Chains A and B, each alone.
Chain A
Amino acid sequence: MARKRSQLSDKIDINMTPMIDVVFQLMSFFMCTLKIVSPEGDFDIRMPLGRAAGAAVEDQMVPPIRLSLSAAADGSLGGISMNGNPVGDFRELQQKVLSLVGDGRGPGSLAEKTEVELDCGYDLRYENVVKAITAVSGSVQDGQIVELIKKIKFTPPKAPR
């Protein structure tokens, strides 16, 4: 009888301290190693050495678009021209590219065949180049990316001022 009473009153005490220690150490580790990575994307460019200067255009059916970005004295954008014709801003550039390549997309389309050759001033701030590449590469419509020209290359660097 006495034994039964003792069994009922027994309370199993689990020592939680080691588990809490480990759990907090794990949490500290994760908090310390947490690295906030901002989303980044790439613009892929294929530029073999032989074709850098736009020399071998003969194999292409479509003439490349020559896009010139001149630099002002402070490195800001001096002006944009497409195939020698001045362009007001990057939005206008996109419209011109769109009218040039048409609506067709996918393999064999004009957008797929056309190549853009970027001729930039040495001192031009790089962000302007990315804006230009963005304008010719595509646009975002209703949250979806509509691709334009994927073939992009640079002319050889000009001598600094």
Chain B
Amino acid sequence: MPKKASDPASTDVDMTPMIDMTFQLITFFMFVMNFSEAEQDDRIQLPLSQLAKPVDGPVEKPITLQLTNQGKVIYAGELIGLGDVGGYLDREKSVLIDAGREPTGATVIVRADGSSKTGDVQEIIKICQEKGFEKFALRAKYDEGR
């Protein structure tokens, strides 16, 4: 006589491997998650440089201006013309002054597309200078040289 099978209604699935794997995945995502508010835009293809190694710490109170290859500026996610940059910088300047800081101490990060015109980058720098900013960071993508 064949042995009677155990109760088919209670199938015990061992959940341990799945939970282990899930927790490992969560740990992985927690480690690779980036909470920094780095302004990166897919419309900008930064030029490559072997010397553009990531900075050790975040730039304090940066103002990021991104220049597209069409000569437009992306400021705080908004696409504006070169001529409108001055108005936005005035606003930034007044915020800095209200916070008891000088615009000379603030850094303007210029993320310009590799195909954009150098003259447009210089125009941005000139507008910033006229508004009292004097520290600039020209951003480039790190070229691993492979």
Chain A positions near chain B (C-beta within 8 angstroms): 16, 19-20, 23-24, 26-27, 30-31, 33-35, 37-49, 52, 69, 71, 75, 120-131, 133-134, 137-138, 140, 145, 154, 156-158, 160
Contacts and interface: CB of A to CB of B under 8 A. Distances in A.
Interface of B: 15, 19, 22-23, 25-26, 29-30, 32-34, 36, 38, 40, 46-55, 59, 67, 104, 109, 112-119, 121-123, 125-126, 129-130, 132, 134-142, 145
10 contacts: A20-B19, A23-B23, A40-B40, A40-B54, A41-B51, A120-B122, A122-B118, A130-B114, A130-B140, A140-B145
Contacts of B136: 44-47
B5 to A, nearest CB: 20
A161 B109 CA distance: 27
A44 B26 contact: no
Contacts of B117: 75, 122-126, 160
A130 B119 contact: no
Most buried by B among A20, A23, A127: A127
A23 B22 contact: yes
Nearest to A145: B51
Contact of B140 (A31, A43, A140): A43
B129 A49 contact: yes
Nearest to B38: A37
Contacts of A30: 26, 29-30, 33
A43 B120 CA distance: 18
B114 A34 contact: no
Contacts of B51: 41, 43, 134, 137-138, 140, 145
A134 B53 CA distance: 12
Contacts of A48: 104, 129, 134
Nearest to B129: A49
A40 B119 contact: no
A43 B121 contact: no
B140 to A, nearest CB: 5
B129 A23 contact: no
B33 A52 contact: no
Contacts of B135: 44-46
B140 A40 contact: yes
B123 A157 contact: yes
Contacts of B119: 120-124, 157-158, 160
B118 A156 contact: no
B15 A134 contact: no
A125 B30 contact: no
